[in-house]
Chain A
Amino acid sequence: QQPVQSPQAVILREGEDAVINCSSSKALYSVHWYRQKHGEAPVFLMILLKGGEQKGHDKISASFNEKKQQSSLYLTASQLSYSGTYFCGTANNYGQNFVFGPGTRLSVLP
């Protein structure tokens, strides 16, 4: 079952922060985050595994609340290069039944 992402779209000014949420109705083993720029393939950002961990990569970080079956992606001090569509992907049962969310379109303006 496809996870739900919110918001569907967000527009930011350079330097502003954004949060993208991903939630599922089913118990999750892992949550993946990908970014896709227009006309390009999705690029892996990070993965969070069951255990409620939090990860960071430069100014992009994410959290995973296993009990709430949801994950959030945090983009701080956004840069123009952050523009694109962000997809979460969720898996249960040790990586099985992987499915992408509908995506969140992020636009960062100068």
Chain B
Amino acid sequence: SAVISQKPSRDICQRGTSLTIQCQVDSQVTMMFWYRQQPGQSLTLIATANQGSEATYESGFVIDKFPISRPNLTFSTLTVSNMSPEDSSIYLCSVEGQGASYEQYFGPGTRLTVT
């Protein structure tokens, strides 16, 4: 399994501002994923980030709102831009395990509150 850290762990932001969330993995991984989880809800995939290529966004999520960087095989950032209260959520990054089994390991999450 991989050890994943996220920064910040939580933040309170004003509407209209942007926040960049960092995700660091203790080993090199090909694919990293960004999820959003609202209280009491399931996890919704925002995008998949491969090193050296543009992130792939799921339906309902766009690059202008959630730009992602993937500069190397152990690090990624997700920016939540021009925030509104509807963006209040927990944002989690995850990585796939080694081999072909596709299990995912999650970071501790970033709890974002937009006022």
Q: Is the CB of A95 within 8 A of B102?
A: yes
Q: Is the CB of A98 within 8 A of B102?
A: yes
Task: Give the residues in chain A near B108, CB-CB below 8 Å.
Answer: 40-41
Chain B contact residues: helix, strand, loop or mixed: loop
> Which of A44, A91, A102 is B42 in contact with, Cβ under 8 Å?
A102
Q: Is the CB of B43 within 8 A of A47?
A: no
Known: A87-B42, A98-B45, A102-B42. A41 touches B109 (CB 8 A): yes
Residue A99, interface by CB 8 Å: yes
Counting contact residues on chain B (CB < 8 A from A), the size range is 10 to 19
Known: A41-B92, A42-B43, A102-B42. A32 touches B107 (CB 8 A): no
- How many A residues have CB within 8 A of the partner chain? 21
Distance to closest chain B CB from A21 (angstroms): 16
Q: Is the CB of A44 within 8 A of B103?
A: yes
Residue of A nearest to B109 (CB): A41
Q: Which of A40, A42, A95, A98 has the most CB of B within 10 A?
A: A42
Residue of B nearest to A5 (CB): B42
